[in-house]
Amino acid sequence: MTSGKTDIARLFRRRLLAWYRRHKRLLPWRETSDPYRIWISEIMLQQTQVDTVIPYYERFLKRFPDVFALARAPLHDVLKAWENLGYYSRARHLHAAAKTIVDQWGGRVPDTPEAIKALPGIGDYTAGAILSIAYGQAVPAVDGNVRRILSRVFAIAEPANDPQAQKHFYDLAASLVPTGSASDFNQALMDLGATVCRARHPACSVCPAASLCLANRHSWQERLPVLRRSPAVPRREAVAAVIRNAQGYLLVVQRPAAGLLASLWKLPGGFIAEGKTGTIALREALCAELDLSVRVGRRLCFVDHAYTHFRLRLFAYEARISKGSPRPRGCADWRWASPADVKKLPMSRVDRKLLEALADADG
């Protein structure tokens, strides 16, 4: 780092810490030094807005107040507590990591980079956040917000989302973290990125680093960070069968333990392959999942849903079993579910949306 940038780094660190002590957000996970609670918050905050996380965080900790309670709980209960928060692999990783922490660490969240990153679901950013906030270690926590701030303050032209540039941003962030104030500094960066140095229309007039920021000095705020263009998001279609027994219970299946939305429950069905109709795709899916032959009736409704890597349109069709009895062939389990059962089962947001649309269609 040049002497000029070293001076910027020193002043940036000092001003950011002073700003944070006056303006830090009041958040429930900032009221504790418990590594378990900080770990839960950091996992929930991955790709999820703070306002969305707060009620989930509070409910989750009432249900699982410590790592022992989480490790003992059935995965079904953990997934149900996570329902609608999205990115369900986070919940499965939390559950698996809790078991490891209890079995190998006596219930204490590990405090070394090597040990904590060996836990499921914890990468460089989450490890840095937990180690600095819970244990006060002078390590960086570098996510997209932090890379955006560093790109602007230090006028970095490397694409912030390019994997090859990650070490540069990490090393720069590591050089900034002050010994003794790592927790405040990393959380200050989080707050600055969320409230001031936003991706669009940054509030430079109230930024504590405005006079130091090279992007602000040269009016490059909207040009930085440089981002490598992502490919277009593909669109996919899927089908689901609405099958009821004599008591009016719905046939539902549990997804496999690995893959998209693993272990959650849904109506039976699957994706529509290119060149296939919805009716054919549904018949094939029911055969693959439950070894059933079905007679497909009218289309009832559809819902749209956005995932990170694709957009989905999910259609629901009436269907009746014409041959066979359900058996778990391509799914983990199945059952006839009453309305009360359906409410208790952990399901993804798109499947809940579909059930709500079905209820509206039934009038």
Q: What is the mean pLDDT of residues 5-29?
A: 93
Task: State residue 184's pLDDT score.
Answer: 98
Q: What is the mean pLDDT of residues 328-349?
A: 97
**Separation of alpha carbons 135 and 183, rounded Å:** 8
Task: State residue 363's pLDDT score.
Answer: 59
In the DSSP assignment, the letter for residue 126 is H
| 72 phi, psi to nearest 5 deg | -75, -25
Joined together, the tokens standing for residue 153 give 């303050």
**Separation of alpha carbons 229 and 227, rounded Å:** 6
Task: State residue 164's pLDDT score.
Answer: 87
Peptide bond into 225 cis (omega under 30): yes
What confidence tens digit (pLDDT) does each residue in 282-317 have? Answer: 999 999 999 999 999 999 999 999 998 899 999 999
**Separation of alpha carbons 142 and 121, rounded Å:** 16
Task: State residue 360's pLDDT score.
Answer: 86
The structure tokens 């799914």 sit at 331
DSSP codes of every residue in 215-245:
HHHTT-TTT-S--PPPPPPPEEEEEEEE-B-
58 is catalytic: no
**Separation of alpha carbons 343 and 265, rounded Å:** 11
Q: What is the mean pLDDT of the chain?
A: 95
Residue 182 burial class via C-beta count within 10 angstroms: exposed 0-12, middle 13-18, buried 19 and up: buried
| 300 phi, psi to nearest 5 deg | -95, -45
Is pLDDT at 54 greater than 60 in this prediction? yes
Task: State residue 323's pLDDT score.
Answer: 94
Q: What is the mean pLDDT of residues 19-33?
A: 97
Of the residues 42, 58, 274, 318, which is catalytic? 42
In the DSSP assignment, the letter for residue 30 is G
Which neighbouring-strand residues pair with 244? 250
Q: Which long-range contacts (CB under 8 A, 24 or more apart) does 52-57 make?
A: 52/85, 53/85, 54/27, 54/28, 56/81, 56/82, 56/85, 57/28, 57/29
DSSP codes of every residue in 95-108:
HHHHHHHHHHHTTP
Amino acid at 233: V
Which neighbouring-strand residues pair with 302? 315
Instruction: Give 5's contacts (C-beta < 8 A, 6+ positions apart).
Output: 154
Instruction: Give 351's contacts (C-beta < 8 A, 6+ positions apart).
Output: 240, 264, 265, 266, 267
The structure tokens 């720069």 sit at 172
- DSSP H or E stretch at residue 111: none
Between 17-21, 114-118, 227-231, 336-340, the lowest mean confidence (pLDDT) is in 227-231
Q: In which band, very low, low, confident or very high, does the pLDDT at 1 lie, cut at 50, 70 and 90?
A: low
Rg (CA), the chain: 24
**Separation of alpha carbons 247 and 299, rounded Å:** 22
In the DSSP assignment, the letter for residue 204 is G
Q: Sign (positive/negative) of CA torsion 55, 56, 59, 65?
A: negative
